[in-house]
Amino acid sequence: MTTAGDIMHRGAQWIPAHETLDRAAQLMRELNVGALPISDENERLCGILTDRDIVVGCVAVGHDPARVTAGEMAKGTPRWIDANAEVGEVLREMREHQIRRLPVIQDKRLVGMISEADLARHLADDQIASWAGSVYARTVPG
């Protein structure tokens, strides 16, 4: 049985909710990642911040990333998966919520992240195709 812990990449780091978006961008550059889990003061997941969030939700609307915090960008209910969850559960969670990155938690602590690249490295082509088709599917109005 392949688990979330088997396919995740280790070394994921939180960005505290009180940190500014410019600091988040610096951390993304240092870690070479496009997303960071956001933690509250008790190191609990309260959101995920992406590089796109910084650009589209802050810079493109004229806000200063040195004055906007990661917590202000956190929206909705954050999704995560237990490190012992089977890969099928990982795929279901990502499909159902149309998400491309999933924090992995073990004993209430962040232990890694699963991204599209991790899926591509560990899953069969047909599994990837099915997952991508469901996550990238958009309903057309009308």
- In the chain, what is the straight-line distance between the N-terminal and C-terminal CA atoms, in Å? 43
pLDDT number for residue 137: 67
What's the average pLDDT block by block, 10 residues per block, for the chain (142 residues)? 92 93 96 92 89 94 97 87 95 89 92 90 80 67 48
Q: Is residue 142 part of a domain?
A: no
Q: Is residue 123 part of a domain?
A: yes
User: What's the number of domains the chain is made of?
Assistant: 1
Q: Is residue 81 part of a domain?
A: yes
pLDDT number for residue 105: 94
pLDDT number for residue 142: 45
Q: Is 17 helix (H, G, I), strand (E, B) or coil?
A: coil
Domain range for 67: 4-135
Q: Is residue 140 part of a domain?
A: no
Q: Is residue 109 part of a domain?
A: yes
Q: Is residue 32 part of a domain?
A: yes
Question: E strands of the chain, at which residues?
Answer: 9-10, 15-16, 35-39, 45-50, 81-82, 102-106, 109-114
Please report, to the nearest 10 degrees, the dihedral formed by the alpha carbons of residues 110, 13, 25, 8 taken in order: -70
pLDDT number for residue 87: 92
CATH of the domain at 28: 3.10.580.10
Q: Which of 117, 114, 121 is nearest to 94 (CA)?
A: 114
